[in-house]
Structure 1
Amino acid sequence: MTTTAAHSAAAGRRVLVPLALAQFICSFAGSSMNVMINDISADLDTSVQGVQVAITVFLLVMAALMIPGGKLTDRWGRKRCLMLGLAVYGVGALLSAAAPGLGVLILGNSVLEGVGTALLIPPVYILTTLLFTGTAARARAFGAIMALGGIGAAAGPLIGGLLTTAIDWRANFGFQAVVVAVILLLTRTLEDPLPADPERSFDTVGAVLSAAGLVLLVTGILAADNNTWLMIALLAAGAAVLVGFFAWIRRLERAGREPLLATSLFHNRTSNLGLVTQNAQWLVLMGVSFTVGAYLQVVRGYSAIATGGVFTAATLGLLTSSLAAERLAKRRAQRTLIVTGFATTIAGVVVLLLLVRSFGGAWPFTPGLLLIGLGLGLMLTPSVNVVQSAFPDSRQGEISGLSRSISNLGSSLGTAVAGTILVAELSRNGYAAALTALAALGLVGLGAALLLPHDRPPAAPGADAGARR
């Protein structure tokens, strides 16, 4: 490697490390609480459903605010949004660590960490798209970010279990605050390749309508085990608000004004299918994480560290396929990787269901979780690349916000759907019913992947493998 190439590669790594760590800690936060259900419930005098609400609200706040967060990057600048989001997230983590009750935990973890994530994640993907040029370099960058994101989600239960058992459940939030502080230090020298545009308009009405619609939909799912009529009313209200949102943005477009989300983003068939696969991937990952975590602790009485240890198989599987992602991307088309990933993940859910119902102990969880990890590691990166690469640099703010919103909506739906089924029938057939529902939803993602256009594997990288400085 020449001196210039080595310097360019080193510069690329310096840029990529804080961006990948940011995705890691946000994904970690979404799954690590799944092994603290009993500890938090006992310490804060709440229930399994109370912890489920805290987890789901965190994921929902991210999903609801991700599109506005992506849009604000144009107005405030990508680096400023990234650092502001990290600061808000860090305050939320510290508040959660000191929470005296469920309400403060929801404020710190669910609200502040959720808002911080919605501000910091869109810049991660926009900066990656802008700073890394060429198919090969961009694929490697997204591969590193998605790998750490997936590992954060898969390893969250393991790391969370270790910290909870060795210290206390509050140490998990202290760990998050420390990682955020490190990321802030690493991002000080990061340069924003595009100037901020303070005069850029912001669609406040659209932001409120989109957030309200998503909140109502997920809240409706959470209400399913308590009140059927309330569930129907909330789902209907959410659908009506989202219809109103799309009517509003069309009205702005006809008037020549800039909406929160341009309807033209949905005119790209490949991108639309990619978004469906992203939603389904995170829905299955977070749904399985909550289902297995709650089942092990509440039904089988496992400790936090024992529960986290069971998830080691998923972490190893995801790490293995993620490390092979770059090599696979050179040899296989993105569609092939996504389809194979879904087939492997669904097979893992089925194995998880069959073995655990037939045998006792911890080992029956291993084969299924390993397959789920392998499958998700195969498809997380190509799904993001399919969507991000469908639009030019000038539209990365919009599509990044939409892409992350769809993914986080999948996370919140996975926890809400699986959690609602599980909590309603925890001592009977809730485990089987939740996994069956997740497998069926995984089939929706597989169907979307099969409809993706056939593409050729990328050629061996050449001069485009560098990163802009």
Structure 2
Amino acid sequence: MKRWRALVILGTAQFLMVLDTSVMNVSISRLVEDFDTEVTAIQAVITLYTLVMAAFMITGGKLGDIFGRRRMFGLGLVVYGVGSAITAVAPTLWVLAAGWSVIEGIGAAMVLPALAALVAGEYRGRDRAVAYGVIGGLAGAGIAVGPLLGGWVTTNLTWRLVFAGEVVVVALILCFFRWIEDHSQPGRKVRLDAVGAALSGIGLALVVLGVLQSSTWGWLRPRNVPFTVFGFAPTLFVVAAGGVVLGLFRAWEHHRQAQRRDPLVRFSLFGVPALRSGLVLLLLQNLVLLGLFFVIPLYLQVIQGLDAFETGLRLLPVSVTMLFASMSGPLIGRFAGQRTVVRCGLAVLFAAILWLVAGIEPQLDDLHFALAMALLGLGMGLLASQLGNVVQSSVGEADRSEAGGLQYTAQNLGSSLGTALIGALLIGALVGVFTTTIEDDPRISDAVQQQAGVAVEAGVSFVSTEQVRSSAVAAGVPAAEVDAVVDAYAEAQIGSLKSAILAGAGVTLAGFAFTRRLPTERLGGAPRRDGTAAR
């Protein structure tokens, strides 16, 4: 058992990194109330958290090479604990964003690449696959416990206690920090590429910012915008600017490598087919997962009127099956290659999303919803059981930290884009369906249609029908037309949710194109085509 005690500490840290995101997702309604804000503001805070992690994850991996992975893991936990403490006492939304989104995000960016490299360095062969299955399973456990724990605490006490508890868990991990060993071999001194770190962070931030703000600004036709570009909404221009900065980042990295200076990212790593495929699939997996975990709580809380704990109970099936499938990865790997398992996971995930879309109705069918969510978790768990091991096993020891940085960058960029993109599609579809419905409804006069159009241009948020009714009455809408406006909004809610969730099915389907270069050997050292044993 001694050889597994390091995994207990590393796995607990992984559990912690996942826990508070799921807590935030089920606490959206309470956060909106506590901070007197809107759903889109909480969406921005959640997106910023994953964006900060994505922006600094590669840098965190490189700092692990410079200062040592074990040391970076411990220091990152301290930073994460400070962020959790600030979050627990945050008096305003801006302090919440600073403590959770920024400080905790930076701490996680220091911890996670080191964690991935430490696991890969501690274990080999089948043990490594088992270890990554456990890590993936504990991530699933975080998703399982988060909605239940966060939902119960949020409903009966306050969500702040979850973050106060995280400070205690961080302190306990640090007490057993000595169990972790760094097996990396000391090499030449590595220097941090500060320019590359800045360019990558700015580029990623601009891309995600553009996608996030598309629901407010509009994609082409400007709605509620701070400025226009040649008469168009700035959304695509901001995304394009991010792409340009990322292009400069790549050019700068090639320049540093040509001068024999340490780049932040060696783009030659992307020439490893398995690594490249694993990273893309991790991005897509998290885009779908976090996108769905943003919109589904809205369906349960805003439309169905459930509280945070009831929402957590409805999310339990996805969490349980994800935990089970993640932990079963090493066993499944004895009978099927990684490519086969990943393809099965994508197929199951695609079927689950279609089933889920069919069940999104004004009245919740608990059994239908639970079965769809259980199938969703099974597909996610099959992916989680394989992809971390694919990434780390595709590179050598010297590249572990860099691969870990890329791994968690892909995951958190996917999370950022998932919350931003799926959330933007939700609001965009809400606007489109609502506008079309009121225009086609003969019960609604031209004056009220025009009034609703002005309100839509000023910005729309995903709120309850009761809030829409109150706003319509306060705006002087004739009593005979209030019901028609509310009915149109209720129809738009369901339509927009289905559209946003269906987008996840499209992303899942696209994932099949990136499975061709995944390893085909079964777990346990089956020979590769070149005759060498699997790592």
Q: Structure 2: how far apart are the matches of 1:14 and 1:155? A: 22
1:299 positional shift: 2.2
Q: Structure 2: how far apart are the matches of 1:394 and 1:37? A: 42
Q: Structure 1: how far apart are the matches of 2:42 and 2:385? A: 30
Aligned to 1:117: 108
Instruction: Tell me whether 1:369 sits opposite 2:373 in the alignment.
Output: yes
Aligned to 1:39: 30
Q: Structure 1: how far apart are the matches of 2:66 and 2:521? A: 37
Instruction: Tell me whether 1:434 sits opposite 2:438 in the alignment.
Output: no
Q: Structure 2: how far apart are the matches of 1:299 and 1:423? A: 15
CA spacing shift, 1:260–1:351, aligned 2, 3 Å: same
1:186 positional shift: 2.1
Q: Is the 8 A contact 1:279 1:406 kept in 2?
A: yes
Q: Structure 2: how far apart are the matches of 1:360 and 1:399? A: 43
1:278 to 276, 282, 298: 282
Matched to 2:322, the amino acid is L
Aligned pairs (5 A) from 1:75-114: 75-114=66-105
Q: Which runs of 5+ in 1 are unaligned?
A: 1-9, 462-469
Aligned to 1:212: 202
Q: Structure 2: how far apart are the matches of 1:197 and 1:171? A: 44
1:361 positional shift: 4.1
1:438 positional shift: 1.0
Q: Structure 2: how far apart are the matches of 1:64 and 1:348? A: 31
Q: Is the 8 A contact 1:74 1:197 kept in 2?
A: no
Aligned to 2:84, the other structure's residue is in SS state: helix
Instruction: Tell me whether 1:151 sits opposite 2:141 in the alignment.
Output: yes
CA spacing shift, 1:38–1:458, aligned 2, 3 Å: closer
Moved more, 268-277 or 102-111: 268-277
- Aligned-pair RMSD on alpha carbons? 1.7
Aligned to 1:3: none
Aligned to 1:417: 421
Aligned pairs (5 A) from 1:56-67: 56-67=47-58
Matched to 2:320, the amino acid is L
Q: Structure 2: how far apart are the matches of 1:75 and 1:285? A: 33
Q: Structure 1: how far apart are the matches of 2:334 and 2:367? A: 35
1:32 positional shift: 1.6
Aligned to 2:285, the other structure's residue is in SS state: helix
Aligned length: 450
Aligned to 1:163, the other structure's residue is in SS state: helix
Q: Structure 1: how far apart are the matches of 2:519 and 2:5? A: 35
Q: Structure 1: how far apart are the matches of 2:388 and 2:151? A: 30
Aligned to 1:226, the other structure's residue is in SS state: helix
Q: Structure 2: how far apart are the matches of 1:407 and 1:369? A: 21
Aligned pairs (5 A) from 1:245-260: 245-260=249-264
Aligned to 1:200: 190
Q: Structure 2: how far apart are the matches of 1:363 and 1:49? A: 30
TM-score (norm 2): 0.81
Moved more, 171-180 or 422-431: 422-431
2:129 to 122, 129, 139: 139
Matched to 2:38, the amino acid is S
1:455 to 500, 520, 527: 520
Matched to 1:257, the amino acid is R
Q: Structure 2: how far apart are the matches of 1:239 and 1:35? A: 33
Q: Is the 8 A contact 2:58 2:402 kept in 1?
A: yes
Aligned to 1:175, the other structure's residue is in SS state: helix
1:382-415 Cα distance to aligned partner (Å, 9 max, x none): 1111111111001111111011101111111111
Aligned to 1:386: 390
Q: Structure 1: how far apart are the matches of 2:201 and 2:20? A: 21
Q: Structure 1: how far apart are the matches of 2:395 and 2:179? A: 28
Instruction: Tell me whether 1:174 sits opposite 2:164 in the alignment.
Output: yes
1:237-277 Cα distance to aligned partner (Å, 9 max, x none): 10000000000001111111110000111111221111111
Q: Structure 2: how far apart are the matches of 1:36 and 1:270? A: 38
1:454 positional shift: 5.6
Moved more, 150-159 or 94-103: 150-159
Q: Structure 1: how far apart are the matches of 2:264 and 2:8? A: 30
CA spacing shift, 1:233–1:458, aligned 2, 3 Å: same
Q: Is the 8 A contact 1:161 1:304 kept in 2?
A: yes
Aligned to 1:357, the other structure's residue is in SS state: coil
Identity of aligned residues (%): 37
Instruction: Tell me whether 1:446 sits opposite 2:512 in the alignment.
Output: yes
1:460 positional shift: 7.8
Q: Is the 8 A contact 2:206 2:239 kept in 1?
A: yes
CA spacing shift, 1:446–1:151, aligned 2, 3 Å: farther
Aligned to 2:5, the other structure's residue is in SS state: helix
1:19 positional shift: 0.5
Aligned to 2:6: 15
1:277-313 Cα distance to aligned partner (Å, 9 max, x none): 1111111111111110122112222100011110011
Q: Structure 2: how far apart are the matches of 1:459 and 1:120? A: 29
1:334-381 Cα distance to aligned partner (Å, 9 max, x none): 111111011111111111110223853433321111011111111212
Moved more, 22-31 or 68-77: 22-31
Instruction: Tell me whether 1:54 sits opposite 2:120 in the alignment.
Output: no
Aligned to 1:92, the other structure's residue is in SS state: helix
Larger Rg: 2
Q: Is the 8 A contact 2:48 2:416 kept in 1?
A: yes
1:72-122 Cα distance to aligned partner (Å, 9 max, x none): 001111111111111111111111110111000000000011000000001
Q: Is the 8 A contact 2:360 2:498 kept in 1?
A: no
Moved more, 156-165 or 423-432: 423-432
